[in-house]
Amino acid sequence: MKDLGEKQTVAQSKLGTPYSSNTSPVRVWTIQPVEVLARLTAARVLYADPACIPKEFRHAYDWMRAQMGRCLPYYDGHFPWWGWRTPHPDLRQSGHLPRGTQGVRLELEIDPNEVLLSDFDVWHSVLNRGYLGLSEVEDDAWYGRFEATVPNRWTWPPPEPWYSDILTSWERIFDLETLAASEYWQSEPRYIQATFEALRLIDVRKCTPFVAR
């Protein structure tokens, strides 16, 4: 059942100077309202506003913050910005922003020490507080045991050991190679999302304005 290089160099990067030349940047695209670009141009560095996070998904964003703290060496604890590693966002498609909204697609190059990649489709297991199995057999077996033991499967958090099982399974969203090999999660194109702490003007390589369809 599928539910939906140096410390000095990086410290300088946080102040708006380039990352170390001995690392290859990660290219990421983020879709934002045009007002965000105006604020970024003025401030040069922006952090995501936690007030914009839907209440029902706060648990998922808190979990992602914890994973960024675990995986990214210079993470300071802010809520993440979201972007796309693949595919390149097609502005001819709908759904990027509410219809009629003036937006921008920002092409960024980010220090790899400051960006965490994960599978967007599999991320929905975190949003929906579900166990993340790698196969239908695994999923069905886990939920069979869980529902036989826990009277109300919608209780959150569930009792142990089920809660720890779920949290551990979520870490699979970062194992892109294993997910690509799993028939259960194979999809084309593969949507790889990128979370990063700071949106910096110096990281912007291209800005493409559009009106959301």
Task: Write out pLDDT tens, residues 61-85.
Answer: 999 999 999 999 999 999 999 999 9
Cα 166 from Cα 81, distance rounded (Å): 24
Residue-level pLDDT at 175: 97
Q: Which of 120-129, 150-159, 162-171 has the lowest mean pLDDT?
A: 150-159
DSSP state of 209: E
Q: Angle at the Cα of 119 (from 114 to 121), degrees rounded to 5?
A: 145
Distances (CA, A) of 193 to 58, 96, 176: 18, 14, 11
Q: What is the pLDDT of residues 7-32, one digit of tens each?
A: 323 333 333 444 444 579 999 999 99
Using CA atoms, how far apart are residues 99 and 205, in angstroms rounded to an integer? 26
Q: What is the mean pLDDT of the chain?
A: 90
Q: Is the pLDDT of residue 37 over 80?
A: yes
DSSP state of 93: S
Segments in 28-79 forming alpha helices (H)? 34-43, 58-71
User: 188 pLDDT band (50/70/90 cuts)?
Assistant: confident
Are the C-beta atoms of 26 and 112 separated by less than 8 Å?
yes
Six-digit token pair at 203? 């990281």
Per-residue pLDDT at 2: 42
User: Shortest CA distance to 105 belongs to which of 213, 16, 211?
Assistant: 211
Work out the percent of the chain whose per-residue pLDDT is above 90.
Answer: 86
**What is the average per-residue pLDDT within 140-167?**
95
Q: Which residues neighbour 174 within 8 Å (Cβ) at sequence distance 6 or greater? A: 67, 71, 116, 117, 118
Cβ contact 130:143 at 8 Å? no
pLDDT in tens, 97-123: 999 999 999 999 999 999 999 999 999
Sorted by sequence, the CB contacts under 8 Å of residue 150 that are 6+ apart come out as 158, 159, 162
List, for residues 162-175, the tens digit of each pLDDT value.
999 999 999 999 99
